[in-house]
């Protein structure tokens, strides 16, 4: 991109107030901050709720607070935020993120004349608007929990805060939509964590609605050639792909997979045990790194099953300058940075 | 006015899930989304032209029908509020028409492998040469630079690479578990949705278009921020199962009936006491056995009434009937010419309490709007449209290419 210049702060000049209590609100602010917005984090005297949430550093600092709330401008307030205080806090800001229980955030939004987005667990209205939630509960309600885990065991929570993060993403986009629209009817947006989580669902809902078939938990590879497989030194994510990719997959695995019996991708279902065995045999002779490289060289989207330490060591992320740095335990730690790099034509 | 993004026109080269998710969200908010495909190379999620059976995809009642590419449930779920234009991008005329359309759009988005659009003459440089104010988004698997720029990825494999699969598992067995949904796809789609809006805010300020190089892996790794810090702080990163950091007790518990599970999260010991009281047991040891005799929904309701976070673990068919979501009109019912009237997942953003800002349109049939769009956006006349069709530039029957 030699004729383009990196734009590290596409949202430069945008000032956003954040009243949050969990990951949904804090991640919305963090996302906007990563794109260059100034985020004013309103912190109660007793501290931000995320600052009390485990895990903690050696110095007792919440890692949630480090990740989601650093590089925000903190404004400590005494007592509840009422209309008068809100007017003071809102002076000079272009938008607001308001996370909390329905009556409180609705009242705050109503008092604001600037773009604002409310984030609540189940929505501002409806018979269960007062229900309490957690990431586990949101995954349960959105149908995510039911389909994760081993078929013979209990449903399993996805180990990252998927629902709350999805709500944060939707809220950040909603606030920016209001800024773009500049229309009174699109000033105040509403995001419910559960609905945001549902909006990223699909297979189990479409399968029911189109076929009246129940989508069960499938464990690590419910369908052949699609899932997590063991290899010589760990695990590999395997995808045979769609369309012509299936033929590349057959050529990569070789041996019995080249039999005409497996010529169509429907062989994944019709001869699942055979396909499964061929894949296991191929992987048994390769390390995760070898399988990843061999498959990618053949145009197939395999991957390594990486843990946190391996993610931090990925060449690709390092080469793109992905990580940001934060102080932690007297040293420097790395956290995820911008996932979207913005560029402007240099001559403009 | 169809929504906050009314007046924004999008040229959508998205395929499968990540790209189409981004443009579906934009379309739900009122943007005019023009989806470009070709009969030679449809969006892969339309499924095969001639599937061997109705079970080879998500077809209504397992009937692939005469035109299966218009009947696949995943395609239809991801592509509402879009218009479909067929252009054969292997032909120079097809590429030229695509570039002319790009010149009239606010946003051009793809999720191909990095470099694909450049090879077609439709990369950021080509588009900015004819439309300097355009926002051009490439949302490839790993980004447009770096040693993996030519590698490909799917949601499931990016989930594995991002650390999310390694972070998911039952305590004690050391085995990571695949995620029930390929979350990296929609997470990247949502990330692109926000990034596009950030670029539109920037354009409003300085009048300049942008190129956005979005890596699906990088958007997925943002979910791992705390996990990466734990690793660097030397803290244990064992599987928590259904446990939650910062909660006194959280679990998924079997209730009366087949596959009836309750999720519960107690913040402190007082909430644990409420749980024990509701279930009617003295301690956590006896709770699991007692709950197998209790109705899941009754217990969830009783806990919520006393301020404890709890919910039924819904299967999809149960979530579709949930009273809160139905009361809020979350699900969308749409009539589709090939699959009839069905329900679809709603959109995550509502304005002033309204679930939708306009009457949604169902996903398009392949090439359904080719003539309409070329006439409306490029001003082509009947004769030109006829000639394009005769030369195969705008052909929309994929059977000719099998």
| Beta-strand pair A324-328/B332-336 | unpaired
Residue position matching structure tokens 């052949």: A224
Q: Are strands A303-304 and A188-192 parallel, antiparallel or unpaired?
A: unpaired
Nearest to B231 among A160, A312, A320 (CB): A312
Please report the ipTM that was assigned to this predicted complex. 0.97
pLDDT, tens digit, for every residue of B365-385?
Answer: 999 999 999 999 999 999 999
Contacts of B308 in chain A (CB under 8 A): 132
Q: Residue A171 half-sphere exposure, CB side, CA atoms within 13 Å?
A: 39
Quick one: pLDDT at residue B199?
A: 98
- Name B140's Cβ contacts closer than 8 Å, sequence gap at least 6: B111, B112, B113, B114, B149, B213, B214, B215, B216
Instruction: Output the six-digit token pair for A143.
Output: 């149908």
Task: Give the gap in angstroms from C-alpha B396 to the nearest C-alpha of chain A.
Answer: 18
Q: What is the pLDDT of residue A241?
A: 79
DSSP string covering A159-181, please? SS-HHHHHHHHHHHHHHHHHHHH
Is residue B10 over pLDDT 80? yes
Considering the entire predicted model, what is its pTM?
A: 0.97
Residues of A in contact with B241 (CB under 8 A): 156-157
**Residue pLDDT, tens place only, A88-117:** 888 899 999 999 999 999 999 999 999 999
Buried b (16+ CB within 10 A) or exposed e, A301-324: bbbbbbbbebbbebebbeebebbb
The Cα of B380 is separated from the nearest Cα of chain A by a number of Å equal to 31
Residues A6-34: tens digit of each pLDDT: 999 999 999 999 999 999 999 999 999 99
Q: So what's the pLDDT on residue B248?
A: 96
Q: What per-residue confidence (pLDDT) applies to A83?
A: 82
Q: What is the pLDDT of residue A227?
A: 87
Q: Which residues pair with A56 in a beta bridge?
A: A62
pLDDT, tens only, B291-334: 999 999 999 999 999 999 999 999 999 999 999 999 999 999 99
Which of B169, B197, B332, B402 would best serve as a mutation to test chain A binding (most A beta carbons within 10 A)?
Answer: B197
From B88, B159, B185, B396, active-site residue: B185
Each residue's pLDDT tens digit, A175-223: 999 999 999 999 999 999 999 999 999 899 999 999 999 999 999 876 7
Q: What is the per-residue pLDDT for B88?
A: 97
Contact across the interface for A148 and B168, Cβ inside 8 Å:
yes
- pLDDT above 90 for B52: no
Q: Assess whether B185 carries a catalytic annotation.
A: yes
Nearest to B161 among A127, A179, A304 (CB): A304
Contact assessment for residue B78 and residue B363, using Cβ atoms and an 8 Å cutoff: yes
| pLDDT over 80 at A347, yes or no | no
Q: Tell me whether residues B180 and A149 touch, CB distance under 8 A.
A: yes
- Picking from A12, A158, A160 by the largest number of B CB atoms within 10 A of its own CB, the best residue to mutate is A160
pLDDT at A348: 56
Which residues of B are less than 8 Å from A161 in CB distance? 223
- Please give the residue of chain B at the shortest CA–CA distance from A303: B157
* Residue whose structure tokens are 């928590």: B240
Confidence class for position A224, pLDDT limits 50, 70, 90: confident
Least-confidence region, from A81-85, A108-112, B126-130, B335-339: A81-85
Which sign, positive or negative, has the C-alpha torsion A73, A76, A79, A82? Answer: negative
In the predicted structure, residue A120 carries a pLDDT above the cut 80: yes
B351 and A142 in contact by Cβ < 8 A?
no
Q: What is the pLDDT of residues A295-336, one digit of tens each?
A: 999 999 999 999 999 999 999 999 999 999 999 989 999 999
Average pLDDT on B16-36 reads 98
Model confidence at A280: pLDDT above 60: yes
pLDDT at position B33 over 80:
yes
List pLDDT tens digits, range B232-289: 999 988 899 999 999 999 999 999 999 999 999 999 999 999 999 999 999 999 999 9
Greater confidence, A260 or A224? A260
State the pLDDT at residue A1: 66
- In whole angstroms, what is the distance from residue A322 CA to residue B33 CA? 31
- Give the separation between CA A244 and CA B49, rounded to whole angstroms: 12
User: What are the pLDDT digits (tens) for B111-138?
Assistant: 999 999 999 999 999 999 999 999 999 9
What H or E segment, with its residue span, contains residue B102? helix B92-102
Assess whether pLDDT exceeds 90 at residue A244.
Answer: no
Contact residues on chain A for B114, CB-CB shorter than 8 A: none
Confidence at residue B51, expressed as pLDDT on a 0 to 100 scale: 87
- The answer, yes or no, to whether residue B290 has pLDDT greater than 90, is yes
For B296, the token pair is 């899941």
pLDDT tens-digit map of B200-244: 999 999 999 999 999 999 999 999 999 999 999 999 888 999 999
């Amino acid at each position: 991109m030699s004729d383009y210049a990196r734009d590290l702060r596409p949202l430069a000049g945008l000032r956003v107030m954040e009243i949050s209590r969990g990951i949904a609100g804090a991640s919305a602010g963090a996302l906007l901050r990563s794109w260059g917005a100034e985020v004013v984090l309103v912190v109660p005297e007793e501290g931000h709720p995320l600052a009390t949430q485990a895990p903690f550093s050696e110095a007792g600092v919440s890692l949630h607070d480090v990740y989601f709330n650093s590089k925000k401008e903190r404004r400590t307030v005494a007592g509840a935020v009422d209309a008068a205080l809100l007017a003071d806090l809102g002076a000079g800001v272009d938008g607001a993120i308001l996370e909390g229980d329905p009556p409180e955030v609705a009242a705050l939004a109503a008092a604001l004349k600037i773009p604002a987005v409310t984030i609540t667990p189940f929505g501002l209205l409806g018979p269960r608007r007062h229900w309490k939630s957690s990431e586990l509960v949101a995954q349960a309600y959105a149908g995510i929990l039911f389909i994760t885990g081993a078929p013979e065991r209990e449903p399993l929570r996805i180990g990252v805060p998927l629902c709350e993060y999805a709500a944060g993403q939707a809220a950040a986009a909603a606030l920016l939509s209001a800024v773009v629209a500049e229309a009174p009817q699109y000033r105040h947006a509403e995001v419910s964590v559960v609905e945001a989580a549902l909006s990223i669902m699909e297979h189990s809902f479409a399968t029911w609605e189109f076929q009246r078939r129940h989508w069960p938990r499938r464990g690590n590879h419910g369908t052949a050639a699609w899932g997590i497989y063991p290899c010589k030194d760990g695990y590999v994510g395997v995808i045979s792909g769609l369309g012509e990719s299936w033929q590349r997959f057959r050529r990569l695995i070789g041996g019995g997979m080249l039999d005409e019996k497996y010529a169509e991708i429907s062989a994944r279902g019709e001869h699942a045990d055979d396909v499964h065995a061929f894949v296991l045999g191929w992987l048994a002779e390769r390390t995760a790194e070898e399988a990843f490289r061999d498959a990618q060289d053949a145009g197939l989207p395999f991957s390594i099953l990486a843990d946190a330490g391996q993610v931090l060591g990925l060449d690709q992320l390092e080469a793109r300058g992905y990580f940001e740095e934060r102080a932690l335990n007297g040293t420097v730690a790395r956290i995820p940075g911008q996932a979207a790099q913005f560029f402007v034509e240099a001559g403009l | 006015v169809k929504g906050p993004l009314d007046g924004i026109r999008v040229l959508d080269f998205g395929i499968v899930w990540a790209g189409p998710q981004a443009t579906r969200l934009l379309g739900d908010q009122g943007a005019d989304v023009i989806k470009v495909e070709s009969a030679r190379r449809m969006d892969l999620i339309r499924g095969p032209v001639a599937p061997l059976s109705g079970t080879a995809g998500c077809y209504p009642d397992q009937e692939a029908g005469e035109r299966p590419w218009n009947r696949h449930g995943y395609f239809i779920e991801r592509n509402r509020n879009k218009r479909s234009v067929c252009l054969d991008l292997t032909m120079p005329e097809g590429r030229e028409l695509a570039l002319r359309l790009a010149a009239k759009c606010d946003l051009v988005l793809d999720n191909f492998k990095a470099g694909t659009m450049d090879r077609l003459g439709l990369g950021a440089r080509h588009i900015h040469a004819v439309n300097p104010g355009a926002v051009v988004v490439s949302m490839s698997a790993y980004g447009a630079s770096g040693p993996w720029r030519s590698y490909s990825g799917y949601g499931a494999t990016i989930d594995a690479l991002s650390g999310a699969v390694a972070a998911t598992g039952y305590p004690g067995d050391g085995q990571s578990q695949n995620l029930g949904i390929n979350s990296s796809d929609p997470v990247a789609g949502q990330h692109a949705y926000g990034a596009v809006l950030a670029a539109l805010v920037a354009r409003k300020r300085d009048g300049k278009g942008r190129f956005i190089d979005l890596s699906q892996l990088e958007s997925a790794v943002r979910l791992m921020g705390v996990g990466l810090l734990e690793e660097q702080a030397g803290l244990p990163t064992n599987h928590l199962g259904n446990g939650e950091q910062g909660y006194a007790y959280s679990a998924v518990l079997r209730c009366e009936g087949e596959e009836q599970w309750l999720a519960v999260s107690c913040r402190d010991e007082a909430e644990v006491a409420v749980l024990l009281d509701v279930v009617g047991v003295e301690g956590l040891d006896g709770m699991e056995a007692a709950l197998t005799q209790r109705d899941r929904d009754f217990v969830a309701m009783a806990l919520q009434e006393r301020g404890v976070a709890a919910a039924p673990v819904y299967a999809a068919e149960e979530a579709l009937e949930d009273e809160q979501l139905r009361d809020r009109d979350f699900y969308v019912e749409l009539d589709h010419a090939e699959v009839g009237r069905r329900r679809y997942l709603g959109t995550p953003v509502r304005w002033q309490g309204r679930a939708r800002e306009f009457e949604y349109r169902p996903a398009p049939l392949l090439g359904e709007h080719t003539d309409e769009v070329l006439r409306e956006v490029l001003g082509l006349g009947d004769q030109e449209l006829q000639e394009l069709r005769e030369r195969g530039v705008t052909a929309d029957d994929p059977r000719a290419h099998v």
